[in-house]
């Protein structure tokens, strides 16, 4: 006796194996990736890892002429740009993997998926809702 869905299940299993290998490669690529951010003046460059961790900074000697407030703004702008670029790279890699995933990019609410898109890495939550509240003192 043959089962009509057995061929589809076997094909899906083969696809899952190749997708898993691709996912492992993308994860390695992601772990090794970083992104740079430059301040408006070009005097400060910050490098962020894929998880947003600042891994290095470069300060042009001319930046030492800036007052402390301006220098802090330069660092903040460069760090923010580096982290945004790193996050964009993560989204790009996740998008590539999800597009190649078996059934990738389709709504999960098909049977019982909860209405979340399969290609939404945050599980449907917005980035703003996952941020910690601002705990700086009022005088900052």
Q: What is the CA radius of gyration of the chain?
A: 22
- What pLDDT does 62 receive? 95
Q: How large a percentage of the chain has pLDDT more than 70?
A: 69
| Residue 34: Cβ within 10 Å count | 15
Q: What secondary structure letter does DSSP report for 107?
A: B
The more confident residue out of 37 and 14 is 37
DSSP letter string over 3-72? -TTHHHHHHHHHHHHHHHHHHHHHHHHHHH-EEEEE-TTSSEEEEEETTS-EEEEEE-GGGGGS-HHHHH
pLDDT tens column, 33-80: 899 999 999 999 999 999 999 999 999 999 999 999 999 999 999 999
**Whole-prediction pTM value?**
0.59
Q: What is the pLDDT of residue 63?
A: 94
Q: Which CATH architecture has domain 29-96?
A: 2-Layer Sandwich (3.30)
Say which DSSP state 117 is in: B
């Amino acid at each position: 006796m043959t089962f009509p869905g057995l061929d589809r299940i076997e094909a899906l299993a083969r696809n899952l194996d190749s997708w898993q290998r691709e996912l492992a490669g993308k994860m390695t690529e992601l772990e090794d990736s970083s992104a740079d951010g430059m301040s408006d003046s070009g005097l400060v460059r910050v490098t962020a890892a894929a998880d947003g961790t600042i891994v290095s900074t470069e300060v042009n000697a001319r930046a030492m002429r800036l007052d402390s407030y301006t220098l802090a703004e330069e660092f903040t702008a460069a760090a923010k740009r580096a982290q945004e670029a790193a996050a964009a790279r993560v989204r790009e890699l996740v998008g590539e993997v999800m597009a190649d995933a078996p059934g990738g990019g389709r709504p999960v609410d098909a049977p019982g998926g909860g209405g979340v898109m399969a290609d939404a890495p945050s599980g449907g939550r917005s980035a703003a809702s996952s941020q910690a509240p601002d705990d700086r003192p009022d005088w900052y």
